[in-house]
Chains A and B, each alone.
Chain A
Amino acid sequence: MNKKSTWAKIKGWSLFLPVMSIILVMAVNIIHDIAVGANPFSFFMITLRQTTGNGTILYGRIIDILNRGSEVAILAIGMTLVVSSSSGTDISVGSVMSLCASFCCMLLAGYGVSSTTTLAVPLIVGLLAGILLGVVCGMFNGTLVAYFGIQPMVATLILFSAARAIGLLLCNDLIVYVRNDSFGIFGGFCGVIPTPVIIAAICILVIAILLKKTALGMYIQSVGINSKASRIAGLNSKRIIFMTYLLCGLFAGIAGIVASSRITSADSNNIGLYFEMDAILAVALGGNSLGGGKFNLAGSIIGAYTIQAITTTLYALGVSSTQAPVFKAIIVILIVAIQAPPLKAYLKHRSNAKQLRGGAA
């Protein structure tokens, strides 16, 4: 009896399904490793490895997932808040990433310069300007959604299609390379740890503290659940929705800098491509309703790393990068399906029926 109630408690935990999903993906890795006769725990192995470029670094599949998943995890924070407050998604984040990267690199290299090793402006100016542009983009989206009442999908469609083009304009249609070590560090390594992991951790920590120490979380959820009632109760519903878009833009800017630093260049056409979809998927995998209202930030972040884990696993299994999306789609369908309310209701109904039959007998 007691054992069962513990199990029920675990099942009732809000992160149960997101965590189960990622465990599932890990299990696939372990099974694969056993099947090919490798160390069953090689998935979890973290070793120190000597590299030519970065010196001694941490190495392993887990590290790789945490590293590569950073951008989507950062985006997922903003996306979670946007979905919660406005029952809509910001589909411009991928393009905004690219725009911020372009702006940052353009400033660092100087306008019209396609490749540089010396910085035209201090690094901090370039970085802050890039991130600030993200904030401006977020404010633009937020104004359209909150104050003009435009549907989020439509409002953010504008920057979704325009931001990359603006980025190209800023870079004079070039791919701008900033081959400077101080810029490369944000996508590289800080000591033995990949810097993107640290940046993602800081973002998560800051927002977690903000949600814990201020009433922001309750405000956002309250507005997302019932904006009219929230207004009567004294919340400025519009400003809160605006703020979530602003934050979403801020995180897109940070993610853009990380992505750009990884390749030490601003490749307008490819930075952040389809990342908006991964960010939305991360929110959904985290067990959040895209209908807005209550949100679970931890779930979204686990969701983001789950997506990366799937990708890394597929590569480890030897699936080619052209075929990977097919398998990724299948896994995502499975994960989303086990979280779907009708299926949950069906399972619950079945277990109830079983109990009833048991009780009668």
Chain B
Amino acid sequence: MEDNVVLTARGISMTFPGVKALSNVDFTLRKGEIHALMGENGAGKSTLIKCLTGINDFEAGEIHIEGISGPVKNHSTKDAQEVGISTVYQEVNLCPNLSVAENLFIGREPMTKFHTVDRRAYNKRSQKIMDELGISVDVTQNLENYSLAIQQMVAIARAVDMECKVLILDEPTSSLDDEEVEKLFVLMRNLRDKGVGIIFVTHFLEQVYAVCDRITVLRDGQLVGEYPIADLPRVKLVAAMMGKNLDDLAEIQKESTEDVSKNDMEISARGLSHAGTIKPFDLDIRKGEVVGVAGLLGSGRSELARAIYGADKASTGTLKVAGKDAKISQPIDAMNLGMGMLPDDRKAEGIIADLSVRENIILALQAKRGMFKQLPRAKQEEIADRYIDLVQIKTASKETLIKQLSGGNQQKVILARWLATDPDFLILDEPTRGIDVGTKSEIQKLIVKLAGEGKSILFISSEISEMLRTCNRMAIMRDGEKVGELDHELTQENVMKAIAGGEQGHE
């Protein structure tokens, strides 16, 4: 093992039923580096990480860890922690109703000599740990009082305090806003300087370049290569991930916006609100129009959509759909008026994890038909096949459980579910979150295509650039209120300014 190397994996192979998930993959992590693991959905990133952390039982290959002679094979995350590999996932796996200190020491509480938990000692030690990492929190407060970013940092602090040599961060930034991401980066750099080797999995290219030292790229379960960050500019990275040359996302240039201003009105909301989450707002969407909703996380973007769709029943206001007064008290009412909504939290509100891809696709269509008009099996299969093909879902078969698919493919299944209902008005809430560049551009193209067919779309995204590419108009949200609309000179700068609201916060 060369100097400075903390973890090497050689020739890792792993097969899932019907799929070669990893074949002969090498990976090397050095001390004090942040190493990005990149690849499209299904490229094998998660599988590789699960091999390292003992969740997957790989079939061939060896893992070596500094300070341990002979190959290491973990059979559980606990084994992995014992050899110094800790993982922090996108979803924070801590207890929100316990204090920060309790979360740090859960399962290994310092004891007094009477074998009771030594609260004073662990509060003091916790504060010290957090101070050293430069995280300013009161460790006696419950974790739920802090933002998701802080919670994530607590999870990292816990991992680090357990003497980890290798820290794996699996999509830690997916639910964080820019400022929070920056805080997380400070912590990551801090840890790097302390000699921890960090594996960073993300879909955000900018973040890779902001914080990483080295990149390993996987594609279709195979190693494409390992590169120092300076040798792999963005365009080349994307090309490496996709296996073809693609000038980043520039390919989808919005064709000269079609003039939709004379089209009929599809959705027309007046004074719609939901008590406690969104203040009364007006919104018009014409047929064939793509309206973006921009704002920071928690600014009421999703809530605006949910009030229209009836996911949260509107407490005031009126809604007209295609010119007719509509009464919507639950999602099925909205669906019967030709709406569909892809929610932002795929896991909690999108997928039905234990059902098959086929069942997930036909679910909404079946719900629209009603319980007693079951779609015949042959018809179900035909629909599933058609949409698996249309949105290119990568799945072993249509009877595969959706939970076995990668995140991006799960998202495509949900998209297929709505397309199968042939909606006139589709709400897409963060459809591209946590999915790879290739799928992102496919979804954006699809949005433009659907609009071209005369469907109306409400598109919510944290990435302003992708909305700029697709939207005719944007609604600006701030603090639970719709504060304005932008319909011309849609540029990154203008949108940022509008979101910030006059303050000179953003550069």
Listed in ascending order, the chain A residues whose CB lies under 8 Å from chain B are: 213-216, 218-219, 221-222, 225-226, 228-236, 293-294, 349, 352
Contact = CB atoms under 8 A, between A and B. Distances in A.
A294 to B, nearest CB: 5
B236 interface: no
Contact of A226 (B75, B352, B371): B352
Contacts of B343: 229, 232
A98 to B, nearest CB: 32
Interface stretch (B35-43, B155-163, B238-246, B362-370): B362-370
Contacts of B348: 226, 228-229
B311 A234 contact: no
B331 A231 contact: yes
Interface residues of B, number: 30
B354 A234 contact: no
Contacts of B359: 218, 222
A149 B348 CA distance: 18
22 contacts: A214-B371, A215-B366, A215-B373, A215-B375, A216-B371, A218-B355, A218-B359, A221-B355, A225-B354, A226-B349, A226-B352, A228-B348, A229-B343, A229-B349, A229-B350, A230-B352, A231-B311, A231-B330, A231-B331, A232-B341, A349-B57, A349-B75
Interface string B367-410: 11101111100000000000000000000000000000000000
Nearest to B370: A215
A225 B417 CA distance: 17
Nearest to B348: A228
Contacts of A232: 311, 331, 341, 343, 349-350
B187 interface: no
B332 interface: yes
Nearest to B365: A234
Nearest to B401: A294
Contact of B364 (A219, A228, A233, A352): A233
A214 B57 CA distance: 41
Given A218-B359, A222-B363, A233 B351 contact: no
A234 B352 contact: no
A211 to B, nearest CB: 10
A163 to B, nearest CB: 30
Given A218-B359, A352-B57, A236 B332 contact: yes
Contacts of A229: 343, 348-352
A226 B363 contact: no
A235 B353 CA distance: 16
B335 interface: yes
Nearest to A218: B359
A234 B374 contact: no
Contact of A214 (B330, B331, B353, B372): B372
Interface in B271-320: 311
A233 B367 contact: yes
B383 to A, nearest CB: 14
Most chain B beta carbons < 10 A, residue from A214, A229, A232: A232
A230 B332 CA distance: 10
A146 B355 CA distance: 22
A352 B368 CA distance: 46
B489 to A, nearest CB: 35
Contacts of A230: 352, 363
A218 B341 contact: no
B351 A234 contact: no
A215 B372 CA distance: 6
Contacts of A222: 352, 355, 359, 363
